[in-house]
Amino acid sequence: MPVNCEPLRKILELEHKKGYTDSAVFGGLDRFLGNWANQAITSITEPKLLLRFHRLRLADSNYASLSMEQRQEWVSKVLSFLPQLKRPEGKGDKAKVVLKVSRPASRAKRPPAKQSLDSPITIIKGISQGIATKLNKLGVSTVRDLLYFFPNRHLDYSQVKSISQLAEGNEETIIAHVWQARQVTLGGRRSTEVIVGDDTGNVRAVWFNNPYLVKQLATNKQVVLSGRVGLFQGRPVFQSPEWEILDDKELVHTGRLVPIYPLTQGLRPRQLRKLMKGVVDQWAGSLADFLPPELRERLKLLELPQALSQAHFPEDDDLKARARLRLAFDELILLQLGVLSKKRNWQQSPPAHPFTVKTTVLETFLKTLPFELTAAQHRVLSEILADLAKPQPMCRLLQGEVGSGKTVVATAALLMAAAGGHQGAFMAPTEILAEQHFGNICHFLSRSGHRETEEDYLHSYSGLLARPLTVALLIGDIKEAQKLELQQHIQAGEIDIVIGTHALIQKGVAFKQLALAVVDEQHRFGVSQRSALRQKGHNPHVLVMTATPIPRTLALTLYGDLDLSVIDELPPGRQLIKTKWLKPQQRQSAYAFLRRQVAAGRQAFIICPLVEESEVIQARAATAEYEHLSHEVFPELRLGLLHGRMSAVEKDEVMRRFRSGRLDILVSTPVVEVGIDVANAAVMLVESADRFGLSQLHQFRGRVGRGSEQSYCMFLAENPSEVGMERLDIIERVQDGFELAEEDLRLRGPGEFFGTRQSGLPDLKMAKLSDVALLELARNEATRLFSQDPGLKKPEHQPLAKELGRVWPQSAEWS
C-alpha cells in the first residue's frame, strides 16, 4: 500500500519556513523521523519501493548535526522523493526503476580528531599494513591519495528489473527473496547455488568456487543481485553476480553505478569498493573547497566534497559527468596557475644579460651557410633575438620537425652571445647527440671563419669575431685530464660555446659568464637537471628545443610559462619518406626489400619495442630479434644491437660503427627515437608498430631520409586493435608531424599525451588533454585570476593559494 507521507511533508515544509532551525517539531526532527520511518516501513511490501525508501535512511537520521546549508539541501532532497513513495508500482508496470543510492548529507560521518587528510592510510579502519603496502603500489599513501584514487569506470547496475523482464546477455539488477541456498559441486569445485524470486517469477544464481555464501544468503532474506544474465537449459541464470542484503545500509556493490577500481595482486574488487565507500563517506566532507565561490557559482561547478563523492559513487550519469568536469577543471586551473606563476617569477627575477645583435657577424654567418634559411627559420630567429635584447631572461620553447633546422637557429643565437662577450651552453640528452651537435655547429662555423685549432674536443675559429671563437665538447667519455683542462678553460671564460651532456651540470663545471643555455629535447631531462644548468649562470636566457610535435593547445597548457616558437616548414628539397603498413604475411617481402637496399649501398634500422622477451607483452624483443636476424635472416650482412641497458661506451661504439658504414643494419629499441643522424640510413622497419603512439612512430621515421636518396619506412603489426589500425592508417598517409600530434591527442583521449611526472607537472587524473574547450576555459580563468590578484593574496583566494602551494612544491622548477 502507499506510504502516508503527509505528516512528514507538513513537518518538513514547516521546518523550511522556520529557516531550518530544527524547531518544526517538539524534541527535534531526528526523533520524529525515527518514529515515522519505523511505522511507515511496515506499509511497504513492493521490493522496488522498499529499496527507494531505504535510500532515504530516515530511521537513524542526524539532522541536528548538519550546517544550515546542509539542512536546506537535505530537506529539499527528501521532499522531492516523497511523491515517489506515494506511487508504488503495480505488478503489471514494466517501467524501469532508476535507483538513487547516494548517502544523504545527514549521514556523513566525521573523521577522527587529530587526524588529517595527509595522515597515512593505516589510520583507516580496515587498512592493515599488508593492505597499505598493496595500495602503496598503486600510488596511494595518504587519506588524500585515497580520495583521489578514482575508479577506472562504473558498471551501470541502477536499472531495476523484475525477474520476468530479464534478458540474456544484459547486465541486470533485481530485488528478490531468497527461497533456497545450498552448496553444490560445479565443474569439480564447491560452489553456491541460490534460488531467488519476486512476484513475477524465480531465477537461479550461482557463485563458482565460493561455497561460503550459503551462510550469508539465508532463506527469506531480501537481496539485490546485479550482474550478467546467462542461459542454462533454456532458463535465465545469474553467474557470480554482485549481491547485497537489502537492509538499512546503503548499497555499494549493486543497484547503482558501481565503481571499478584499479587493482594489484592481493586486493579484491568488493574489498576495495567497501573500503573506498567508508573513506569517501567519512573524509570527503573534510576537504575544503579551494575554488573561489564566485568562480564556482558562475561556472555552475559542484562543490568539491560532492564532486569527490559523486566521482566515486555517483547517483546518476549526470552527476558523474558533473563531478568529472569539476575535478578536471581543478587539475587544469591549478596547472595553469602554476605555470603562470613560474613565468612571472622568471620575468621578475634579477635582470639577464641583454644582447646587442652584431648584425655584421650574423649576416656573415648566414651568408656562408650551405643553404638558405626558410621563412619560418627567419621568423623564429627574429623572435629569439628580440628576447635576447631584453633585460628579462628569455624562456622560450622552440618546436620544429626533425630536419626543420632548429640547430642552425640555436647556433646563430649562441654566436650572438659570444659576439657580446658572453658564454653559451648547449645541453643534449645523450653523448651521441652531443657529438652530433658539436660536429654540425663546428661545420656551420667553419664556413664563415678560419679554423685555428682542431683538437678532439676543442675547435677555434678566426675571422668571425675580433678574437678567436672557441667551441668545446664536454661529455663523460673524455679522459679525466682533458676534462679538467676543459673545465679550467670554461671557468676562465676562454671557451665561448660549450656543447655537452649532463656533464655540463656536474660540480666541477663553472662558467665565468653563462648568458644563454640551450636545452635540446628538453623533455628527456629531469626537472633537477634543467634547473642545475640554469643555476650555472646569473639568470641566463634559456631556449629549450623539441622535435616532438605538440599541438598548440597542449603546448600552451603544459608549457604556459614558456613563449612558443614553431618552425612549421621544412627546407626545400626535403623528401617525403615512403611509408607502408605491412601485414604479418608481408614480412618476408619486407626482408627482401631491405636486403636489396643494403646491396645498393644503403643502411637500415630495425626497431623492436622491448629489450627482453615478455610473457605478458608478446612483442619481438631486440635481443632475441638480433640473434634471429643475424643467424637466420641476414647471415651475410653486418648487424649491430643497440638498447637502453647497454653502457654509454657500448652504445657509442655501436653508433660509431653504424655511422661509419661498418654495420649494415642496426637492431634497436626506441633509444633511436631522438636525434641520431645517419645520412646513409634509408630504410626503417618497425616491429609491433601498433604498440607505439603516432608521434613516436613519426620520430622513428625521422631517422631516415636524412640524405639525398629516397627513403622508406615499413611498419609491421601482428594483430593490431581497432585503434592500432587507425593509427597505422594515419601514419601511412600523413607526413606532417603537427597534424599527427593532433591526431595522436584525439586518439589517446584521456590520459597524458606524454608523461607529466618527468616534466615536473602535477599529475592529471581526471582531465582529458583532448578536451580543448575545458583547457581553454581553465586557461582563461587562471589568466583572469592572475591579472586580478597575481599573488592570490585576497581572502577569497587564500584557499586556492594554499592548494597551489601543495600541488606545486617549490622544488618543481621544470622549465
Query: Once rounded to an integer, what is the mean pLDDT over residues 455-469?
Result: 88
For 2-24, how does the pLDDT look when each residue is reduced to its tens digit (9 = 90+)? 667 788 888 888 888 888 888 88
pLDDT of residue 100: 41
Q: Which residue has the higher pLDDT, 121 or 763?
A: 121
Split at pLDDT 50, 70, 90, the class of 535 is confident
* 209 phi and psi angles, rounded to 5 deg: 60, 30
Please give the C-alpha separations between residue 184 and each of 111, 196, 207, 237, 431, in angstroms, as whole numbers: 44, 16, 10, 15, 67
- Residue 460, strand partner residues: 453, 470
Q: Give the whole-number percent of the chain exceeding pLDDT 90.
A: 32
State the average pLDDT for the chain. Answer: 82
Is the distance from CB of 311 to CB of 323 less than 8 angstroms? yes
Please name the residues in contact with 759: beta carbons below 8 A apart, sequence gap of 6 or more: 523, 527, 558, 814
Q: Determine the angle formed by the axes of helices 406-419 and 431-448, rounding to 10 degrees.
A: 60
Is the distance from CB of 496 to CB of 471 less than 8 angstroms? yes
Q: What's the rounded Cα separation, in Å, for the pair 714 and 602?
A: 15
Is the distance from CB of 468 to CB of 710 less than 8 angstroms? no
Q: What's the rounded Cα separation, in Å, for the pair 535 and 127?
A: 44
Please give the C-alpha separations between residue 155 and each of 170, 203, 267, 506, in angstroms, as whole numbers: 12, 22, 19, 53
Q: Which residue has the higher pLDDT, 63 or 711?
A: 711
Split at pLDDT 50, 70, 90, the class of 47 is low
DSSP secondary structure of 500-523:
ESGGGGSTT---SSEEEEEEESGG
pTM: 0.64
| Host H or E run for residue 517 | strand 514-520
What is the torsional sign of CA 678, 682, 685, 691? positive
Query: Once rounded to an integer, what is the mean pLDDT over residues 156-169?
Result: 87
* 304 phi and psi angles, rounded to 5 deg: -60, -50
Is the per-residue pLDDT at 637 higher than 90? Answer: yes
Query: Once rounded to an integer, what is the mean pLDDT over residues 389-402?
Result: 86
Q: What is the CA radius of gyration of the chain?
A: 33
Amino acid present at 665: I
Please name the residues in contact with 627: beta carbons below 8 A apart, sequence gap of 6 or more: none
Cα three-residue angle 252-258-262, rounded to 5 degrees: 105
* 290 phi and psi angles, rounded to 5 deg: -90, -10
Is the distance from CB of 412 to CB of 355 less than 8 angstroms? no
- Residue 395, strand partner residues: 542
Split at pLDDT 50, 70, 90, the class of 265 is confident
What residue has cell string 603544459? 558
722 CB-contact burial (10 Å; exposed 0-12 / middle 13-18 / buried 19+): exposed
Query: Once rounded to an integer, what is the mean pLDDT over residues 745-761?
Result: 51
Query: Once rounded to an integer, what is the mean pLDDT over residues 300-311?
Result: 93
Is the distance from CB of 668 to CB of 681 less than 8 angstroms? no
Q: What's the rounded Cα separation, in Å, for the pair 9 and 692?
A: 61
pLDDT of residue 52: 65
pLDDT of residue 634: 95
pLDDT of residue 676: 66
Of 741, 638, 724, the C-alpha closest to 686 is 724
* 334 phi and psi angles, rounded to 5 deg: -65, -40
Written as nine digits, the cell of 779 is 586557461
What is the torsional sign of CA 584, 588, 590, 594? positive
Q: What's the rounded Cα separation, in Å, for the pair 765 and 718?
A: 32
Split at pLDDT 50, 70, 90, the class of 103 is very low
Amino acid present at 783: T
Query: Once rounded to an integer, what is the mean pLDDT over residues 415-438?
Result: 89
Please name the residues in contact with 495: beta carbons below 8 A apart, sequence gap of 6 or more: 423, 458, 470, 471, 472, 486, 489
Q: Which residue has the higher pLDDT, 599 or 348?
A: 599
Is the distance from CB of 15 to CB of 29 less than 8 angstroms? yes
**Most confident among 102-111, 691-700, 755-764 (mean pLDDT):** 691-700
21 CB-contact burial (10 Å; exposed 0-12 / middle 13-18 / buried 19+): exposed
Least confident of 550-554, 582-586, 735-739, 753-757: 753-757
pLDDT of residue 80: 78
pLDDT of residue 604: 94
Is the distance from CB of 373 to CB of 442 less than 8 angstroms? no
Distance of CA 42 to the CA centre of its chain: 52
Is the per-residue pLDDT at 774 higher than 90? Answer: no
Is the per-residue pLDDT at 752 higher than 60? Answer: no
DSSP secondary structure of 155-203:
EE--EE--GGG--TTSEEEEEEEEEEEEEEEETTEEEEEEEEEETTEEE
**Most confident among 45-54, 323-332, 392-401 (mean pLDDT):** 323-332
Q: Give the whole-number percent of the chain exceeding pLDDT 70.
A: 84
pLDDT of residue 425: 94
Least confident of 310-319, 560-569, 738-747: 738-747
Is the distance from CB of 717 to CB of 690 less than 8 angstroms? yes
99: DSSP letter: -
Phi-psi region of 574 (alpha: psi -120 to 50; beta: other; left: phi over 0): beta
Amino acid present at 717: A
Query: Once rounded to an integer, what is the mean pLDDT over residues 207-222?
Result: 88
Q: What's the rounded Cα separation, in Å, for the pair 490 and 106?
A: 69
Q: Determine the angle formed by the axes of helices 737-748 and 722-733, rounding to 10 degrees.
A: 170
Is the per-residue pLDDT at 632 higher than 90? Answer: yes
66 CB-contact burial (10 Å; exposed 0-12 / middle 13-18 / buried 19+): buried
pLDDT of residue 576: 83
Split at pLDDT 50, 70, 90, the class of 811 is very low
Query: Once rounded to an integer, what is the mean pLDDT over residues 38-58?
Result: 66
Give every strand in the sheet of 639-642, ordered side by side.
578-582, 712-716, 681-686, 603-607, 665-668, 639-642
Q: What's the rounded Cα separation, in Å, for the pair 347 and 351?
A: 8
Split at pLDDT 50, 70, 90, the class of 64 is confident
Is the distance from CB of 501 to CB of 431 less than 8 angstroms? yes
Q: What's the rounded Cα separation, in Å, for the pair 602 and 646?
A: 26
Of 148, 91, 86, 87, the C-alpha closest to 117 is 148
Cα(first)–Cα(last) distance of the chain, in Å? 68
Written as nine digits, the cell of 257 is 553505478
